């Protein structure tokens, strides 16, 4: 909170929209913040990456970054990204791979891979990409009025990594019987975070998540048959507490400001 004069909720609203780069946080008006982020994206991110890696088409690279921002929180489909980047012309799947590597090497984005929780196995693909600063994602995709699921996941991912966790995307197989038949369902856990001998499972639920969405988030955690802590981070204020099934619920501000609450 140092360097910010407003209250907690205003600070969260500003951070979730404009990120945490000091040069942006120090600016007074929203117009100045947007202008600084836009300039940073065009004149620093795009120009520097294009210059260092000898990318001739800077406009193509900028369009590519905007497409990646629009895919934030989703598993990346390289073929679809290639088509979206220049309306199907000029970008190949190989170029998509090169651009992703350039941006990751420049510490603009970070990849996260899937991890099969029951089989204890990591997958090379598909992957998700998250921006190192959520403000860059915002300027690339258009600033949302309120934080959506992609923004919340991006913030949780970067915060966990900043705290020293190795973060992966969880996948857990759940079997159920329907009409006498055994069916398998693959459920998604937003994050599996490991630090030394500790592990936590984290689901992220935006404020508008309804009862059905919350049940799906919890069902994935309940399908995990180990004793590591299972957490649902909510996009609304709540009193941090466990439910009868041992799932720990915590609001976003407490998650960001009270890291000790993630431990036993």
Convert the pLDDT of each residue in 198-224 to its tens digit. 999 999 998 666 677 788 899 999 999
Convert the pLDDT of each residue in 62-107 to its tens digit. 889 988 998 888 898 888 888 776 654 567 889 999 999 999 999 9
Query: How do strand 198-205 and strand 229-234 relate by DSSP bridges?
Result: parallel
Model-level pTM? 0.88
Reported as a pLDDT band with limits 50, 70 and 90, residue 242 is very high
Convert the pLDDT of each residue in 130-156 to its tens digit. 999 999 998 988 776 566 888 899 999
Distance, CA of 200 to CA of 177 (rounded, Å): 29
Q: Could you tell me which residue, 254 or 213, shows the higher pLDDT?
A: 254
Nearest in space to 128 (alpha carbons), one of 149, 142, 106, 147: 149
What per-residue confidence (pLDDT) applies to 208? 60
What per-residue confidence (pLDDT) applies to 154? 94
What per-residue confidence (pLDDT) applies to 229? 95
């Amino acid at each position: 909170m140092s360097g910010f004069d407003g209250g907690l909720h205003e600070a969260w609203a500003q951070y979730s929209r404009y990120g945490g780069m000091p040069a942006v946080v120090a600016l007074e008006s929203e117009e100045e913040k947007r202008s600084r982020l836009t300039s940073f994206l065009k004149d620093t991110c795009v120009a520097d990456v294009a210059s260092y890696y000898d990318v001739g088409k800077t406009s193509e690279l900028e369009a590519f970054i905007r497409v990646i921002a629009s895919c934030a929180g989703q598993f990346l489909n390289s073929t679809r990204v290639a088509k979206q980047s220049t309306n199907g012309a000029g970008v190949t799947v190989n170029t998509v791979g090169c651009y992703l590597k350039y941006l990751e090497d420049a510490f603009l984005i970070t990849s996260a891979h899937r991890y099969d929780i029951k089989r204890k196995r990591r997958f090379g693909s598909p992957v998700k990409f998250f921006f190192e600063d959520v403000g860059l994602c915002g300027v690339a995709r258009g600033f949302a009025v309120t934080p959506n699921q992609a923004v919340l996941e991006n913030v949780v991912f970067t915060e966990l990594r900043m705290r020293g966790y190795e973060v992966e995307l969880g996948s857990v197989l759940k079997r159920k019987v329907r009409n006498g038949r055994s069916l398998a369902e693959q459920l998604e856990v937003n994050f599996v975070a490991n630090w030394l001998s500790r592990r936590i499972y984290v689901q992220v639920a935006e404020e508008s998540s309804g009862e059905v969405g919350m049940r799906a988030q919890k069902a994935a955690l309940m399908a995990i048959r180990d004793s590591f802590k299972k957490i649902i981070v909510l996009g609304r204020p709540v009193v941090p507490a466990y439910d009868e099934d041992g799932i720990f619920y915590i609001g976003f501000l407490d998650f960001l400001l009270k890291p000790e609450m993630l431990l036993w």
